[in-house]
Amino acid sequence: MSEKKISGFSVGKLKKRIKKNFTIGFIASVIVALLGLMKTAILVKSLSVADFGLVLIILNLFAFLLLIVSFRVQDVIYRFYPVFISKNDRYAINRLIWITGVLSLGTGLLVASVVAWLGDWLASSVYDAPELVDTIYLYTVVVPLLALEPMLVVLLRLHNQFARIAVLQVLGELLIVLGFVFFVLVEGDAFNINLAISVIGAGIVFRISPMLFMAFRNLMKDTQNAVKTSRKDSSWDLREVFSVLFHTNITGYLKVGSDTGGMFLLGILATSTEVAIFGLARQLVKPFTMFQNNLSSAITPEVMKLVADGNLVELNKIIGRFLRLALVAILVLLPVGIFAAPYIVNILANEEYTGAVLVFDVMFVSALLALASLWFYAVAVATDRVKQRNKVVALRFIFLIAAIIVGLDALTLAIAQLMGVLAIKILFDLPMMKFLQREARNEGNK
């Protein structure tokens, strides 16, 4: 029998594409992380502790503001772009890109303008470092590009251009490292925070500008191939788009509020030792989180395309195979991680961090369970069920409150987060899987 086809590709090719894109993204993430360590090492050796801290203040300030103020337009593009492409709806494609582009660029310009306007006050009154004002002005130039980057990355992923994204990310970081080395050698002791921020900004421009060009070229090809439609004949629905935008943003705020909020409360209600233990355990889990993020990036565009094309039978089969593999991975990795944790903690830290072993075990269980849920958030976005998922995610705050009542420390916070993951698995992922199976049966009977 010939292999089942999905939108012109076989199921086998679909799996190979996911594997290839995941591998590309993961390798790039590892290289970028290593280059990041090199960047940090150069700055630590070349700047004073105070100046290095000021560089981090600038980067964290804008990163935090963009996180809080920006819209999660990437999920909206994932949700609607494949649908409009499958319908050859040029009007809807143009409207979607126009609105998400304006929201992204507008957010970047707003953040850059407000921070530039408050630059003197921030430098003098908030950070007690008047010399920081020029550095703030320098970095505001690249903030609009940073705000556009998530949208551009999604558009490239939907066109299966993962390799180009990876190359640009690596080259951008490499340019920053080489720039640091060059100016440290040339300027010597004159190397300062303004030069450091200028080099970082150049690397950002180098990374994102080609993405902008490639995304625009993809858009031009898609709109030329699509049928020219009027507003009356288009499938464009502004209310539906903003409904998805609203609920996916709520998802982001719930996650930030429960995770970052939990860490913030730990610093207030517990000792600094507990914060250090929790921080070490989270760093130990970070490589697995990197694995998950890259796998999710490879999976999400494929889910959106399959749902847009109505291939729920194939999607259900692929998710079933993935869940079986995930179960095997959990059964293998869980005992390995629990066994290795004490030795890793002993190597990396002193006896004061002994408590990090149990915290790591709980976090590792959470990460493994989350691995089996990677498909279901994408399916929730594609089938407009993010609202239902948000109701379950909100339970994280109840578990956090319970941890506070019991006595918040590193372990109780990790357990509260594990309970949140279990709630999503039981109350959303399982019903979602049954829904997919039911829809797949209905589609198969047609």
At residue 409, what is the residue type?
Answer: D
Residues ≥6 apart with Cβ < 8 Å to 371: 292, 295, 326, 329, 330
In 3-state terms, what secondary structure has residue 227?
Answer: strand
pLDDT in tens, 356-404: 899 999 999 999 888 878 889 999 999 899 999 999 999 999 999 999 9
Kindly report the number of other CB atoms within 10 A of residue 52's CB atom: 17
pLDDT value at residue 64:
81
Say which residues have a Cβ less than 8 Å from residue 64's Cβ, sequence separation at least 6.
none
Q: For position 73, what pLDDT does the model report?
A: 92
- Name the amino acid, one letter, at 40: T
Report the mean per-residue pLDDT for the chain.
Answer: 87
Name the band, by pLDDT with cuts 50, 70 and 90, for residue 2: very low
77 within 8 A of 300, measured Cβ to Cβ? no
DSSP string, 19-61: HHHHHHHHHHHHHHHHHHHHHHHHHHHHS-HHHHHHHHHHHHH
- Nearest-angstrom CA–CA distance, 130 and 23: 45
What is the predicted pLDDT for the residue at 445? Answer: 65
Give yes or no for a contact between 83 and 248, defined as CB atoms under 8 angstroms apart: no
Q: How far is residue 358's CA from residue 2's CA, in Å, rounded to a whole number?
A: 50
Most confident of 7-16, 130-139, 387-396: 387-396
Alpha-carbon gap, residue 124 to 145, rounded angstroms: 27
Give the C-alpha separation, 317 to 104, whole Å. Answer: 36
Is the pLDDT reported for residue 443 higher than 80?
A: no
| Model confidence pTM above 0.75 | yes
C-alpha to C-alpha distance for 238 and 228, rounded to whole angstroms:
19
pLDDT of residue 4 exceeding 70, the answer is no
What are 227's strand-pairing partners?
89
CB atoms within 10 A of CB 436: 21
**What angle is formed at CA 235 by the lines to CA 99 and CA 242, rounded to 5 degrees?**
40
SS3 350: coil
Q: Residue 80's pLDDT is what?
A: 93
Interatomic CA distance for residues 86 and 308, integer angstroms: 7
How confident is the model over 66-118, as pLDDT tens digits? 887 788 899 999 999 999 998 888 889 999 999 999 999 999 999 999 989 98
Alpha helices in 159-192, H assignment, sequence order: 162-187
In contact, 173 and 35? CB cutoff 8 Å: yes
Cα 263 versus chain centre, distance: 19
